[in-house]
Amino acid sequence: MKTFIFNNFISKITKHQTVAVFSHVRPDGDCLGAQVGFSLWLQKNGIKASAFNEDELPENMHWLQEFFPIRKPSEAQLSEFDAFVVLDGNALHRFGDVAEKIADLGKPVYMIDHHPDPEDIYEEPISVVSASSTCELVYRLFAEHNIDQIDEPVAKALYLGLVTDTGSFQFDSVKPATLHAAADLLDRGRFTPNVITNKIYASRPLKQLKLLSMALETIETHAQGKIATITITQEMFTRTGTTNEDTEGFVQYPLSVEGVLACVLFREDEDRIKLSLRSQSDSIDVNKWARKFNGGGHKKAAGAHFVGTLKEAKKAVLKVGEEQL
């Protein structure tokens, strides 16, 4: 028997007239695809929607703006809305300085997400850790409400999140329901997979490939070859003319080294060391690992940060990883 998880959510959210939809800072394909898909769902159901993100969209995802505009929020705008929705994150600090203030307004805040341990502040939280992506959950919202509301823009936005958050359907988070959703989106949107994958993977600027080449030279293994690291420094950004967003996907390369169970990407930002952690072993929970360093995520994919030097970060982070082994 099919379980309907969105009944209460739909009943409550459709009573609002104006809704602000937030995606998390340093946006990726899943949060942006879910944001556009969900904003279109609101619009199709007679609700005025506005989509916000404090950061710029990655260059290879600007095409989403053709379907629904995503703008930078301001604190003054918050009074315009009678409800808020956060997508692909379950703690308000993940959505930026403006979003952190919405909990103090006395208005309902809703959530759709697939990360563990959500904050206890939401009017109607949809939290499904077993889902491959937030886009899969937004697809399920359409399926439970009115599947025929999925048109080409919705289908392309949601398919983007399915592809990017599953490693092109390689991760063990992919279930039959995930592939069913992907197939249905392709059918309803009347497009082929390469239409999306070419936009996000086959349009890399040359400078990004030069950055990747430099980063690959830094791959090292630790803990008898069970943990690998890859490093991106400010000097590399300067030499190649790239930015933080050009490192998307780099963390997967050290994980492909034979015998490696988990990996860490160390990225030297201006004020901290950004950490991206991945695991392909049930024995290493990178969510727990990341929580030691101001972060979190999933058991096999998480992010965090370290305030200090690159050398200090590597020593501290690898120590925790080796303890898990």
As given in the structure block, the two tokens for residue 144 are 């439970």
For 314, other C-beta atoms within 10 Å of its C-beta total 18
- How many other CB atoms are there within 10 angstroms of residue 170's CB atom? 9
User: How many whole angstroms separate alpha carbon 153 and alpha carbon 67?
Assistant: 6
Structure tokens, 260: 């490696």
Average of pLDDT values for 7-30?
A: 96
Residue of 64, 126, 119 whose CA lies nearest to 93: 119
Residue 199: pLDDT band with limits 50, 70, 90: very high
Query: 3-state class of 89 per DSSP?
Result: coil
Helix, strand, or coil (residue 259) = coil
Of 275, 189, 260, 276, nearest in space to 222 by CA: 260
Helix, strand, coil shares, percent, the chain, to 5: 45, 20, 35
Q: Is the pLDDT of residue 233 over 70?
A: yes
For 9-34, give one letter per residue: b (16+ CB within 10 A) or e: bbeebeebeebbbbbbbbbbbbbbbb
Question: What band does 126 get if pLDDT is binned at 50, 70 and 90?
Answer: very high
Q: How much is the average pLDDT of 146-165?
A: 97
Q: Angle of helix 134-145 relative to helix 152-165, nearest 10 degrees?
A: 140
Phi and psi torsions of 117, nearest 5° = 60, 60
Residue 249: pLDDT above 90?
no
pLDDT at 134 over 60: yes
pLDDT at 129 over 80: yes
The token pair that represents 37 in the structure block: 């898909």
* pLDDT reported for residue 211: 97
Pairing of strands 220-222, 227-232: antiparallel
| Least confident residue range of 52-61, 199-208, 285-294 | 199-208
The whole-angstrom separation of Cα 225 and Cα 10 is 49
State residue 172's pLDDT score.
86
Cα separation, 9 vs 51, in Å, equals 19
Question: Would you state the pLDDT for residue 202?
Answer: 81
**Closest-CA residue to 217 (of 191, 192, 205, 235):** 235
248 has pLDDT over 90: no
Determine contact, residues 269/246, Cβ cutoff 8 Å: no
Average pLDDT over residues 211-236: 97
pLDDT at 278 over 60: yes
* Mean pLDDT, range 169-193, rounded to an integer: 96
Residue 205: predicted pLDDT: 87
Count of residues making up the chain: 325
71 backbone dihedrals φ, ψ, rounded to 5°: -115, 165
Asked if residue 3 has pLDDT above 80, the reply is no
Q: Is 222's pLDDT higher than 60?
A: yes
Q: Among 258, 257, 307, 254, which residue's Cα sits nearest to residue 277?
A: 254
162-166, 168-172, 233-237: range with lowest mean pLDDT: 168-172
Q: For position 261, what pLDDT does the model report? A: 95
Distance of alpha carbon 217 from alpha carbon 225, whole angstroms: 17
Least confident residue range of 50-54, 140-144, 171-175, 200-204: 200-204
Contact 185, 158 (CB under 8 A): yes
Q: How confident is the model at residue 2 (pLDDT cuts 50, 70, 90)?
A: low
Q: What percent of the chain has pLDDT over 90?
A: 86
> In this model, does residue 1 exceed pLDDT 70?
no
Where does residue 2 rank: exposed (0-12), middle (13-18), buried (19+ CB within 10 A)? exposed
